[in-house]
Amino acid sequence: MPGLREELDVDLCVVNGENAADGLGITPRLAEVILASGADVITLGNHTFRRPEIAGYLDESERVIRPANLSKHVSGRGLTIAESRTGTPVAVINLLGQLFLAPPHGPWEVVDELVEEARRSTPVILVDFHGEATSEKVAMASYLDGKVTAVLGTHTHIQTNDARVSAGGTAAITDAGMTGPHDSVIGVEAELAIRRMRTGLPVRFETAQGGVRIEGALVECNPSTGKASSIEAVRVSVS
Ligand SMILES: [Fe+2]
């Protein structure tokens, strides 16, 4: 990551880390490794609490956030303000889609308040919308056009070919893709995933190894207005 940050001249790096612990959840140790390797903020998703030891860590951490629309009775926060390499404050909001993921609160119920809160600190706002359905992700990006800098989709592990800057100056991509082994079924050993699908029997999944790629999206914006000027999908082979 340090080399890629330099190559792409990245001022701030946000990583969705919800599958870091063998495909499910994240541990405090893994969060520290990802932050130490050059991430400024880590977002999470539907697997946030798969590793229970992350709960206490989320209460302490300003740099690791979980979807804002989880229960108010769980640890952590869904909005943080980080500082870019050039000193620009950047708000990062994490939301969970409601289609097929059934969060305790719909993202539409909380998004306005979160964006308002973020805008009190900075016009540069990045939303990680962690969702299954392309329709919901496109709808949220469209709803937030002109209100935030970028709406980047995560969760499906499949990078989409729709990076665009909308009329209001909001960059969006429906899914930023997966950093991990692409010779797989979204990260799982293909043979195991296929066996489960073909037979309907329980099969223990294992993380695949081959075809590792870093995938994501690179957004350029004006730090004074928060308007995006460009977005491009990033896809780099590392094995
Ligand atoms: Fe997910």
What is the rounded distance in angstroms from the CA atom of residue 39 to the CA atom of residue 160?
Answer: 22
DSSP state of 149: S
pLDDT tens-digit readout, 135-179: 999 999 999 999 999 999 999 999 999 999 999 999 999 999 999
Tell me how far the alpha carbon of residue 15 lies from the centroid of ligand 1, in angstroms.
13
Q: Which amino acid is it at 101?
A: L
pLDDT tens-digit readout, 16-53: 999 999 999 999 999 999 999 999 999 999 999 999 99
Tell me how far the alpha carbon of residue 199 lies from the centroid of ligand 1, in angstroms.
24
Going through the chain in order, the beta strands assigned E by DSSP cover: 14-16, 41-43, 79-83, 89-96, 125-130, 150-154, 164-165, 171-173, 180-181, 212-221, 228-237
pLDDT of 239: 72
Instruction: Catalogue the active-site residues.
Output: 47
What is the rounded distance in angstroms from the CA atom of residue 6 to the CA atom of residue 116?
Answer: 32
Tell me how far the alpha carbon of residue 86 lies from the centroid of ligand 1, in angstroms.
31
pLDDT of 152: 98
Tell me how far the alpha carbon of residue 3 lies from the centroid of ligand 1, in angstroms.
27
pLDDT tens-digit readout, 168-205: 999 999 999 999 999 999 999 999 999 999 999 999 99
What is the rounded distance in angstroms from the CA atom of residue 89 to the CA atom of residue 69?
Answer: 23
Range 104-122 average pLDDT: 98
CA angle 181, 152, 70 (to 5 degrees): 95
What is the rounded distance in angstroms from the CA atom of residue 170 to the CA atom of residue 150?
Answer: 5
Backbone dihedral region of 193: left (phi > 0), alpha (psi from -120 to 50 degrees) or beta?
Answer: alpha
Tell me how far the alpha carbon of residue 155 lies from the centroid of ligand 1, in angstroms.
4
Asked whether 228 and 219 are in contact (CB, 8 A), the reply is yes
Which protein residues have their CB within 5 A of the ion that is ligand 1?
A: 45-46, 155
pLDDT averaged over the chain?
97
Tell me how far the alpha carbon of residue 25 lies from the centroid of ligand 1, in angstroms.
9
